[in-house]
Structure 1
Amino acid sequence: MSARGASGWWAGAVADRARSAQCLAGARSATQAVRPMIFGAHESVAGGLHRAIALAGEDRCEAMQIFTKVSGQWREPALSAEQIAAFRAARASWAGAGRTLAHASYLINLCADDPAILERSREALYQELARCDALGIDFVVFHPGAHRGLGEEAGLDRIGESLAIVLSRGKGLRAQLCIENMAGQGSTLGDRLDQIAAMIERAGPEGARLGVCIDTQHAFAAGHDLRSEAGYERFWGDFGRRLGLDRLRCMHVNDSKAALGQRVDRHERIGGGEMGLAPFWRLANDARLARVPAVIELPPLSKERRGYAEELARLRGLCGAAEPAAATPSPVDARPVRKGKPRAPRA
């Protein structure tokens, strides 16, 4: 099955570069109506998985991402028939009726050198895929892993092998695995598009069933300057050549606390970080990406939960608007690097 056939919703969404350029030109003059991306947010599952859909409705989400389990634990709780029914019923009544994503556990490392961790990682990714299939969730986004001294090539081989095992076991499941690009911290793999292409290729025939999720902050921290038109087109041109735009299933739209090329995973609110509004204006007005679900991954604005409606409205407001001023770039080494794990969205 081809990547395009694996997800028919994408059919017709990929446009050529000329159409995109025309779309952007129309946006600059604010004279051309452009269909925006499908925007949403990572929502909390506190109180039950189905509660996330109620929050998505409050935030006027057209797409939604959740954790189906505690992201920092190996424990794999079984979903009850009642939990599955409640989630599916809530989704059926969701006014947004949008695309749903789940983020797999942060503990997964598909190229771990420890056999026990490698086996646990493969099992955890399969279980996530099975849970999402039961819930009717469209995409499972995951971090591929860090080779921790094994070496890049050996790490890519092991990730490909791991994906082939998980996908072979999950034949018949409708949820689709999506490799997320990484910021490049430490020995993490997936910060380069050629690495992601290698993972897919090394998964063998099963690789045709894999999608890709692009995180804007990770791309920026890995050295892709999406602020300029030239840098933006260079990134998507490279994506098209190496992976094909029909491989793109979803996106994480986050600004960056880290400077360009700093290789640190640190999200910031849209327009409040090093990237500024220009990259998100380009995304909102890019005809090639018009049907791609794109979610914000940030903690709530306050303990009272002001939600994401304002931020999503700001993103949608970029569609057809005049081009915003570019952010002032910071030198790569101008900001201190905080050690430790990236801050996760709400559980």
Structure 2
Amino acid sequence: MAAPIVEVRNLRKTYGPKVAVDDVSFAVERGEIFGILGPNGAGKTTTVETLAGLRGADGGAVRVRGIDTQRDPAAVRDILGVQLQEATLHDKITVGEALRLFAGFYAHPADPDELLAMLDLAEHADKQFAKLSGGQKQRLSIALALVGNPEVAILDELTTGLDPQARRATWDLVERVRDTGVTILLVTHFMDEAERLCDRLAIIDGGKVVAEGTPQGLVDGLDDDRTVVVRFAPDDVARGRELLAGLADRHPDVTRTEAAATTEVAVTGTRRVLFAVVPALAEADLVPDDVRTVTRSLEDVFLAVTGRTYQPEAQLAAAATREGDRS
């Protein structure tokens, strides 16, 4: 079996008393999109910047294609491309100038014109950086990460601040880049982005890996509880709630019932909970406006492993408040 192209083992990084990365380990196979997912402030960016040799580690080992990036960061310069979250360029440099400038840093760079075409930037080659849209700046950032012909590309929060259309276009681009043979480490706090793009991922919270696997495998590893949401017409809500509220006492496949919205009731139970809800409605001759099963996601995984809901912005604000209280 081939060795992983990226290996992180027991990585630790501190800033004074603050532990930013605490015993993080994962491995990335060649040719996959590996996600590093977690709320803002979880330690994701510190992890990949340490992996890239941009920050010094306080413990553990980080390797790209077997090379220790802490001991010899220059040795991976032509192997590893990095798109950093806060990276920016001079306002007046054009797209084409930026690519040609960065290409000059490498012994065997990619063809800038081919990158412009692949990333849909050819028509913007003469446009200054300050005049680019958010999506165009992100595509340029990816192009700069790829201009050295890397085997591995780190893409850090590349869709933050983009509108939904630009986000989806960027997702398509990431998949196209992977199809060229580049292994991708995708850093994100967006659950839907990780579910859409990642072959495997590690969820990081508080500097620790709290779950790792394929998106579907992590979801499938949750308990067998299922939830059915029933929406009633306004005139039927009261009768529907009364009927379903007592279902847990009458049916072994139902564990609880709760109001989900003004006209909705959520019924939770075993995998067969739907078979309890539908006959009960039919027996009472109560026709709902809608019945749907709730699809579980990585947010449910996060709740299961951390005990709290996934609110990345709120968690970052809370962490900042705690830091302020200690200072």
What's the TM-score once normalised by structure 1's chain length? 0.34
Q: Which of these two proteins has the greater Rg computed from alpha carbons? A: 2
What's the TM-score once normalised by structure 2's chain length? 0.36
**Higher relative contact order, structure no. (Cα contacts within 8 Å, ≥ 6 residues apart):** 1
